[in-house]
């Protein structure tokens, strides 16, 4: 029973869900001076976190359900559906989690419920139709990742729109980079099943070039963000120096390292390392929200 519980947490990517929850909590509290700590513990915000958690977890389940054959080639040791969790139970979990997500979202208001339902539908469409297609699936995942921030603004318009724009763009670009990296890792199985992902259509060399351009654009936008940080946020001048130091050490320098490693990436292990580093950069970038209101 314990092993099944562990496999369920792996299936819904519990670590990723924690990052999503952290992102939404930080965005809600730090991106507006009018939000107080007590608001973070309000029932409506907890409902929003739970709803997002459930719909994202359901999305991971349906994605793995649709990709069982691919995953048996690309990462057989990580396949859970059809082994410890049956396909029937996976579908039951998927629909149950989406239903509960919609139920919690409806307790907030109809607008949030509609947005959650739309996200659930998009995740289904992605898994069913878009994932194996050139770039469009990557863009869909990047958009949905950035939307975990936008839904905070629809939930409470007191959250600073500047901050939502900054961090949603950052989330979009870093997720797009990572999704293309993951496609490059999975080329062997994807090509066997005639998928049309970017590395299969363009080849690894051209894909690397595009990844470098995406990361370079992200670096440029991050530098621009640092330059105009004082105008965008409510932080004091005393915090600015600490903010710049943090961004340089924890975000910008790792981004340059990522570009350098992308240039030399060749085998699957190289791209797996890039995926991990990009995920850490996304996390340290999200943590920088704490500087907005001090």
Q: What is the pLDDT of residues 9-27, one digit of tens each?
A: 999 999 999 999 999 999 9
Q: What are phi and psi of 81, to 5 degrees?
A: -70, 130
Tell me if residue 133 falls in helix, strand or coil: coil
Residue 136 has pLDDT above 80, yes or no: yes
The residue written with tokens 């998009």 in the block is: 122
pLDDT value of residue 260: 96
pTM above 0.85, yes or no: yes
Banded pLDDT at 44 (limits 50, 70, 90): very high
The domains of the chain, with CATH numbers, are 1-159 (1.10.357.140), 162-294 (1.20.120.1780)
Pull the structure tokens for residue 144: 């949905």
Q: Tell how far CA 216 is from the center of its chain.
A: 19
The residue written with tokens 């940080």 in the block is: 229
Q: What are phi and psi of 196, to 5 degrees?
A: -120, 55
pLDDT value of residue 131: 84
Q: How far is CA 63 from CA 13, 60, 124, 172, 188, in A?
A: 11, 5, 8, 19, 18
As a whole number, mean pLDDT of residues 257-266 equals: 93
pLDDT value of residue 1: 66
| Residues 273-287: tens digit of each pLDDT | 999 999 999 999 999
Q: What are phi and psi of 85, to 5 degrees?
A: -125, 120
Q: Is 203 left (phi over 0), alpha (psi -120 to 50) or beta?
A: left
Higher pLDDT, 74 or 79: 79
């Amino acid at each position: 029973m314990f092993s099944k519980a562990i496999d369920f947490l792996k299936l819904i990517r519990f670590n990723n869900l924690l990052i999503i929850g952290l992102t939404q909590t930080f965005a809600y509290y730090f991106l507006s001076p009018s939000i107080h700590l007590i608001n973070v513990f309000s029932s409506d915000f907890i409902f929003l976190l739970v709803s997002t958690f459930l719909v994202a977890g359901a999305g991971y389940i349906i994605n793995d359900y649709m990709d069982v054959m691919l995953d048996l080639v690309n990462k057989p040791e990580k396949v859970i559906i059809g082994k410890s969790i049956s396909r029937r139970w996976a579908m039951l979990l998927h629909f149950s989690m989406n239903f509960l997500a919609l139920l919690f979202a409806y307790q907030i208001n109809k607008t949030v419920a509609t947005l959650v339902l739309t996200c659930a539908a998009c995740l289904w469409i992605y898994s069913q139709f878009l994932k194996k297609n050139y770039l469009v699936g990557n863009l869909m995942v990047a958009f949905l990742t950035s939307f975990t921030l936008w839904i905070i603004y629809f939930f409470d318009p007191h959250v600073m729109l500047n901050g939502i724009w900054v961090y949603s763009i950052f989330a979009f670009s870093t997720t797009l980079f990572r999704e293309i990296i993951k496609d490059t890792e999975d080329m062997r199985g994807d090509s066997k099943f005639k998928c049309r992902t970017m590395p299969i259509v363009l080849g690894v060399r051209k894909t690397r070039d595009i990844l470098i351009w995406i990361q370079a654009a992200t670096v440029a936008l991050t530098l621009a963000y640092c330059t105009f940080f004082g105008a965008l946020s409510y932080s004091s001048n005393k915090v600015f120096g600490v903010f710049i130091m943090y961004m340089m050490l924890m975000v910008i320098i790792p981004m340059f390292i990522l570009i350098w490693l992308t240039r030399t990436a060749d085998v699957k292990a190289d791209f797996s390392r890039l995926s991990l580093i990009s995920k850490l950069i996304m996390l340290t970038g999200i943590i920088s929200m704490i500087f907005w209101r001090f």
